[in-house]
Amino acid sequence: MLKQPRNIYLTLIAQLTVIWVFMTLFRVVFLLWNPSFFSDFSFLDYAVGAWFDLITISFFYLPFIFFSVVPFNKRLERHRQKIKVLFYVPITLLVFFLNAWDIAFFSFTRKRVSFQYFKFLFSENEAGILAVEFIAEFWWLILFFIFSLVLIFYLFLSFKTYKSNLNKFSSWSLCVVIMFLSVIVGRGGFQLKPVDIIEVSKYTSLKNAPAALNSAFTMLKTIDYKDLDKKDFFSKKEADAIFNPFQSSVPTNILQDETNVVLIIFESFGSMYVGPNNAESYTPFLDSILEKSMYFEHGFSNSQSSMDAVPAILASIPSWMKETFILSTYSMNQYNSLPGILKENGYSSSFFHGPTNGSMRFDSFTLASGFDRYYGRKEYNNEDHFDGTWGIPDHYFLPWSIDVMNEMRKPFFSTIFTYSSHHPYTIPEGFEDITKSGPDPICKSISYADFGFRDFWMKAREQDWFGNTLFVFCADHVGPTSRKDRADLNWSFKIPIAFYHESGLLPKVNTNQTMQQIDLMPTILDLLNIETDYFSVGSSFLSGLDMPNMSYYQDNIVSMAPGRDPIVWNEVQDDLTSESVVKTKIKAVYQQYINALVNNAMLP
């Protein structure tokens, strides 16, 4: 016979602990049924899973926790157990059902269940037939599910609740403290934003992430996501003939093997205020480097936000959908990336971003995509330089990153994401008088960021690795503007993109040649002489493929190029009467991208 807890607080702990134990048990069965996917799942991965289980319990059982500890009067106290049952039973049924479901279906989807997947499944005409097949094949899982529920409810009823003997003030105080702690655990801690699906990659590998998560958590985090449907504009053979995203690099042998790479992403550096051929440029120092570079005056962003840009640049994954890839259920897909491929070829890697860690979830995504280390405000570790709103200003943070790079094993790959040209456009003390103002508030901060880049570049030139380093420059997206003459589609996505090597061996770019963010990974692999297969909806500039630039704008795909008006396409108004060749390519690439996301088929 179980020893009876003597107050409502011990009872609550006991009743939630058994849920926690059973969620671990479901994870064990999940791993036993899917051993080929998680051959190196470790004790640390179990600990990560236990933490996410605790987050899930704190969120799902929040109403139950409240009615377990809130002080009742004498009349309501007699009904506390019944009230608790009303919450405990359906919540437990849902949580256990979702975790049991993924034990069976993970091998088909290779990721945890999402809200969209359930909507899709139960809207299918074959749902009834699938249910019969499921019961026939996984009868043992149904028995395990029923056994778990029976046992958990038996244990629940075994913990008899006794009224707290605390006075009214102490009871209410303790209730507030418990609810506060539950909310903090439910959001995953005190960080800027509640924990999301991608956060698991901070603590475990992308491969083991699905097993460290639990299905109730992923379902909760995907309720607001819009599901994607597979596209069938062309047959698979026809689409591959137009554009096949499974590609192979072609070494150019322009640069020597094991060349280091430093990729600098400039926050909001739209071409309207940047570039050597721009009379309105606010970046004279950067422009002096671009003039000596393989510079694309007609570079295009595949995105309109920083969160969209990072996957596009680092993994050739654009966000041609309503939600950003980083926040979507597809962020747990298996995919290749530039840091991951370079790691396989002996490179060490690091990602630098001056704001507070957790900003825009870059720390999670970059670690998931294969970077060895992430460096943010926390790692900079000097709060005297904090600007009071966002992070560490560029003129401090960028030169500091060189000190870290000097300690890295060579060859290395480092990405630096500037931030000072982000709203609220704070100009550090000492730069107010030397920076240049312009028609938009962002102009002065772009001018300041150019000084930060200058300090970085002058220090980098002094390092012994400078001459053997490929520098890549790219903006994340175009910054905000109030100018009507800069508000059309051409200006909305036009950014500087450039490649620099001290040897001067990089080829020159024709004035009308274009490049987009998703082309960066394939191009860099060719320049580094890396021989590999990869998935990308972009293509290497050096391959000679003539593919359209594609950006997502208000549910449309837009394609820009010099000398012609933007081409706009969407699948609702699918008109091929004009520019049919370009639109056909757009449709094929878009189909390949969407189907790869839906099918979790983003690896060669």
> Could you tell me the two tokens for 79?
């009904």
pTM, 2 dp: 0.80
- Same domain flag for 196 and 338: no
Q: Which pLDDT score, from 0 to 100, does residue 49 have?
A: 93
**pLDDT surpassing 80 at residue 449:** yes
**pLDDT surpassing 80 at residue 3:** no
State the DSSP string of 194-255.
---GGGGGGTS-TTTHHHHS-HHHHHHHTTTPPP-----SS-HHHHHHH--SEEE-----SS
Closest CA to 533 of 472, 469, 602, 438: 602
Rounded distance between C-alpha atoms, residue 320 and residue 23, angstroms: 36
Average pLDDT over residues 407-425: 94
Rounded distance between C-alpha atoms, residue 471 and residue 293, angstroms: 9
**573 is a domain residue:** no
- Same domain flag for 102 and 217: yes
**pLDDT surpassing 70 at residue 166:** no
Average pLDDT over residues 433-448: 95
**pLDDT surpassing 70 at residue 127:** no
Rounded distance between C-alpha atoms, residue 538 and residue 541, angstroms: 9
* Neighbouring residues of 339: CB distance < 8 A, sequence distance ≥ 6: 314, 347, 349, 351, 366, 369, 370, 371, 372, 413, 415
Residue of higher predicted confidence among 554 and 382 = 382
364: containing domain: 255-505+515-535
- Same domain flag for 173 and 312: no
- Same domain flag for 213 and 298: no
**548 is a domain residue:** no
**557 is a domain residue:** no
* pLDDT per residue as tens digits for the range 481-531: 888 788 778 888 999 999 999 999 999 998 889 999 999 999 999 999 999
Rounded distance between C-alpha atoms, residue 263 and residue 474, angstroms: 8
CB atoms within 10 A of CB 28: 11
Domain final residue pick, 221, 247, 278: 221
Under 8 Å between Cβ of 476 and 264: no
| Torsion-angle region of 110 (φ positive above 0: left; ψ -120 to 50: alpha; else: beta) | left
Q: Which pLDDT score, from 0 to 100, does residue 40 have?
A: 84
**593 is a domain residue:** no
Q: What's the chain's average pLDDT?
A: 89
Q: Which residues pair with 514 in a beta bridge?
A: 298
Closest CA to 593 of 243, 111, 225: 243
Confidence of residue 467 (pLDDT cuts 50, 70, 90): very high
Task: Name the residue with tokens 């107010």.
Answer: 432
Rounded distance between C-alpha atoms, residue 414 and residue 409, angstroms: 11
- Same domain flag for 176 and 268: no
Q: Which pLDDT score, from 0 to 100, does residue 5 have?
A: 41
- Same domain flag for 296 and 339: yes
- Same domain flag for 86 and 39: yes
- Same domain flag for 179 and 323: no
Length of the chain: 604
Under 8 Å between Cβ of 62 and 220: no
Give how many domains the chain has, as a whole number: 2
**279 is a domain residue:** yes
Average pLDDT over residues 454-480: 97
**551 is a domain residue:** no
**pLDDT surpassing 90 at residue 59:** yes
Average pLDDT over residues 321-330: 83
Q: Which pLDDT score, from 0 to 100, does residue 303 have?
A: 84
CATH of the domain at 401: 3.40.720.10
**327 is a domain residue:** yes
Average pLDDT over residues 553-570: 87
* pLDDT per residue as tens digits for the range 224-245: 766 688 999 999 999 999 999 9
* pLDDT per residue as tens digits for the range 579-596: 588 999 999 999 999 999
Under 8 Å between Cβ of 308 and 319: yes
- Same domain flag for 197 and 262: no
**597 is a domain residue:** no
* Neighbouring residues of 581: CB distance < 8 A, sequence distance ≥ 6: none
* Neighbouring residues of 578: CB distance < 8 A, sequence distance ≥ 6: none
Residue of higher predicted confidence among 540 and 79 = 540
- Same domain flag for 411 and 461: yes
**pLDDT surpassing 90 at residue 165:** no
Confidence of residue 18 (pLDDT cuts 50, 70, 90): very high
- Same domain flag for 281 and 194: no
- Same domain flag for 320 and 429: yes
Classify residue 254 by burial, with Cβ atoms within 10 Å: 0-12, 13-18, 19+.
middle
Most confident of 74-78, 125-129, 216-220, 415-419: 415-419
CA distances from 54 to 60, 61, 294 (A): 10, 10, 51
